[in-house]
């Protein structure tokens, strides 16, 4: 696969993609796409490939080449095969990540909210530093998106990034590798640090009523309700059809008699043979002389297994004493059946002649079987008949309703035709969907952009068939301030806290006097200063991302960074201390996950092979 595919784990793809997606959309180097792509684009790992996906993949491919060869690079100057392959690989990356994200439930309320926040904070949608919904709407509309569909696009990218991150975080190592890595890298650190608590700062913020109303008015995109859809359904359940299966009179008695007539008390007879192949001799007479010689050896008492090993010309069985396993009349010639018919255990047959071979058979094992009880046979036959016939009855109704769906019949007409009740499925948003049949295809259809009101759709579910019809679609709408007041207050406080934290960080950095710094820290309850000695790489004293940065730095460095929870850390690294062998052994269990950097290349190769190279690619009308 191309480099773009093989290195998908090596960096923060999301940032790159968001930059690619940032408006205005300039899909460079795609002038020839109109002829190369048209109609249905197919699917990758079950994810539909749309025109928007194609544009995104094309733009990503262009940006990738320009990042290497400069902004003036003309993608259209490349050979058509190279352009097509580049776009195809970007599509695979895009859709494999999307499918993986969907399977793990990364498409949820949190990613939708984060997508909206990213849009609000995008400078291209702002005027004088403030988000302007009119600007946002105008720009996305001019590039073929609605406000909602652009949110869906950004949600998909965020979910895909979560999935990519989860893959890139996977690693494994043997115990020896772990110990060697720990011996090489494990150490402790002595540090001084200042911490500004994000939650503490946020808790001190007071929002006025007018500020809340202004924030609500200027950021309404954050407070839209989710689309809500209602549906009804018809359920065909095979178990209900079982009640309609009638057992023909005398059928069970007849079936039992058939069983008895087929039953053979000596059916489990194991045989071995010695074979002479006529084709190995100048004449059939000479071959018969050889098998007669073998017969004489057996009559004289020689062991059948030894004789088979020496004389049998069946190279498949001669080394295991000529064993042919249990006799089956459907497999072996009728001459074999006649030859062993009157043999007891350990007796051997007369010479048996077939068209090309001579054989001597020996009975090596006889298992006397008892017939199954009449009750058990009749019960098995009855259950099998009911299972088969009930499925056939359900499929008859299924075929009938499929024809009606193709004829644009309503769900009411279908229900009447097959004499089934219509049930109400309820009304849900995509995030709170809770149907008693946990099938993703049901949810996908109900919330698909292609699903129209009152158009029935059938889904096979093994022993069930469900016919769905969307009954109502309530479009997203701005929620009244009173309903979202708490969310407004939280988001506004979050915005203020981020801004104030940055200002306080700048102010701290500008203070040169220790006394002035101590006075500044002492003035705020959410700022603390501390000194830690012998901090370990996997200590719980500091967030892991802060520790990673510390142990990737050098003695004397100062680190200024935000933790994942928003807390600001200003860390002075005083020194690093090497651990003894006993100390390394004491932390070896905690060290298991530290091989990430060293094993990133190995995991990337494994994931590329297992995930991408096995991608189910079904692309139509593409010149690839």
- The tens digit of pLDDT for each residue in 42-61 reads 888 888 888 888 888 888 88
Contact 348, 298 (CB under 8 A): yes
Pairing of β 130-131 and β 126-127: antiparallel
Q: Which string of b and e fits 352-390 if b means at least 16 CB within 10 Å?
A: bbeeebbbbbbbbeeeeeeeeeeeebbeebeeebbeebb
Contact 160, 167 (CB under 8 A): no
Q: Got the DSSP string for 494-525? A: HHHHHHHHHHHHHHHHH---HHHHHHHHHT-T
Per the rule left: phi > 0, alpha: psi between -120 and 50, beta: everything else, 167 is alpha
Edge-to-edge strand ranges of the sheet holding 228-237: 423-429, 228-237, 464-474, 457-460
- The tens digit of pLDDT for each residue in 511-550 reads 989 999 999 999 999 999 999 999 987 789 999 999 999 9
Residue 455 tokens, joined: 């158009």
Average pLDDT, the chain: 84
pTM: 0.51
Q: How far is Cα 135 from Cα 446, in angstroms, rounded to an integer?
A: 32
Helix/strand/coil percentages in the chain, nearest 5: 50, 20, 30
Task: Report the Cα 130 to chain-centroid distance in Å.
Answer: 39
Helix (H) or strand (E) holding 11: none
**Res 623 pLDDT > 60:** no
**Res 6 pLDDT > 50:** no
- The tens digit of pLDDT for each residue in 464-498 reads 999 999 999 999 999 999 999 999 999 999 999 99
Contacts of 524 (CB under 8 A, 6+ apart): 196, 201, 504
Q: How far is Cα 565 from Cα 544, in angstroms, rounded to an integer?
A: 11
Contact 547, 187 (CB under 8 A): no
Q: How far is Cα 547 from Cα 567, in angstroms, rounded to an integer?
A: 14
Angle made by CA atoms 330, 333, 338, in degrees to the nearest 5: 105
């Amino acid at each position: 696969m191309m480099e773009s595919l093989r290195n998908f784990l090596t960096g923060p793809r999301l940032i790159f993609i968001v930059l690619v997606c940032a408006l205005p959309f300039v899909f460079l180097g795609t002038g020839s796409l109109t002829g190369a792509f048209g109609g249905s684009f197919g699917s990758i790992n079950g994810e539909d490939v749309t025109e928007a996906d194609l544009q995104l993949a094309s733009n990503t491919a262009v940006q990738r080449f320009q990042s290497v060869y400069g902004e003036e690079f003309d993608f259209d100057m490349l050979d058509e095969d190279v352009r097509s392959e580049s776009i195809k690989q970007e599509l695979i990356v895009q859709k494999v990540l999307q499918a993986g994200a969907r399977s793990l439930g990364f498409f949820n309320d949190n990613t939708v909210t984060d997508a909206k926040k990213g849009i609000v904070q995008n400078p291209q949608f702002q005027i004088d530093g403030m988000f302007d919904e009119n600007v946002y709407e105008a720009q996305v509309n001019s590039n073929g998106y609605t406000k909602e569909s652009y949110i869906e696009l950004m949600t998909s990218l965020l979910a895909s990034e979560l999935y990519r991150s989860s893959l890139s975080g996977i690693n494994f190592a043997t115990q020896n590798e772990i110990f060697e890595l720990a011996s090489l890298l494990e150490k402790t650190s002595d540090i001084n640090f200042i911490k500004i608590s994000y939650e503490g700062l946020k808790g001190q913020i007071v929002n006025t009523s007018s500020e809340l109303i202004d924030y609500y008015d200027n950021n309404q995109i954050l407070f839209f309700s989710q689309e809500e859809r209602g549906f009804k359904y018809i359920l065909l359940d095979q178990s209900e059809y079982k009640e309609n299966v009638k057992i023909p009179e005398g059928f069970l008695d007849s079936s039992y008699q058939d069983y008895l007539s087929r039953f053979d008390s000596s059916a489990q007879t194991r045989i071995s043979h010695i074979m002479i192949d006529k084709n190995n001799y100048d004449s059939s007479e000479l071959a018969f002389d050889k098998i007669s010689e073998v017969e004489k050896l057996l009559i004289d008492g020689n062991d059948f297994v030894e004789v088979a090993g020496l004389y049998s010309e069946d190279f498949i069985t001669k080394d295991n004493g000529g064993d042919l396993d249990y006799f089956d009349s459907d497999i072996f010639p009728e001459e074999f059946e006649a030859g062993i018919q009157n043999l007891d255990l350990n007796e051997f047959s007369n010479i048996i002649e077939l068209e090309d071979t001579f054989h001597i058979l020996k009975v090596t094992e006889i298992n006397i079987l008892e017939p199954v009880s009449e009750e058990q046979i009749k019960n098995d036959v009855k259950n099998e008949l009911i299972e088969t016939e009930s499925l056939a009855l359900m499929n008859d109704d299924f075929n009938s309703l499929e024809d009606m769906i193709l004829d644009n019949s309503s769900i009411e007409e279908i229900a009447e035709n097959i004499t089934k009740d219509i049930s109400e499925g309820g009304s849900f948003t995509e995030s709170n969907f809770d149907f008693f049949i946990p099938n993703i295809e049901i949810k996908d259809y109900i919330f698909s952009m292609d699903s129209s009101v009152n158009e029935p759709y059938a889904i096979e579910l093994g022993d069930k068939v469900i016919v769905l019809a969307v009954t109502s679609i309530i479009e997203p709408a701005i929620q009244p301030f009173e309903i979202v007041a708490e969310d407004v207050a939280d988001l506004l406080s979050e915005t203020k806290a981020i801004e104030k934290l940055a200002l306080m960080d700048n102010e701290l950095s500008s203070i040169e006097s220790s006394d002035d710094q101590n006075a500044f820290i002492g003035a705020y309850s959410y700022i603390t200063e501390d000194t830690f000695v012998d901090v370990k790489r996997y200590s719980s004293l500091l967030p892991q991302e802060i520790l990673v940065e510390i142990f990737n730095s050098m003695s004397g460095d100062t680190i200024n960074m935000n933790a994942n929870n928003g807390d600001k850390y200003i860390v002075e690294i005083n020194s690093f201390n090497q651990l003894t062998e006993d100390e390394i052994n004491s932390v070896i269990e905690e060290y298991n996950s530290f091989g990430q950097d060293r094993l990133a290349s190995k995991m990337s190769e494994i994931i590329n092979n297992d995930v991408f190279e096995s991608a189910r690619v079904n692309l139509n009308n593409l010149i690839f």
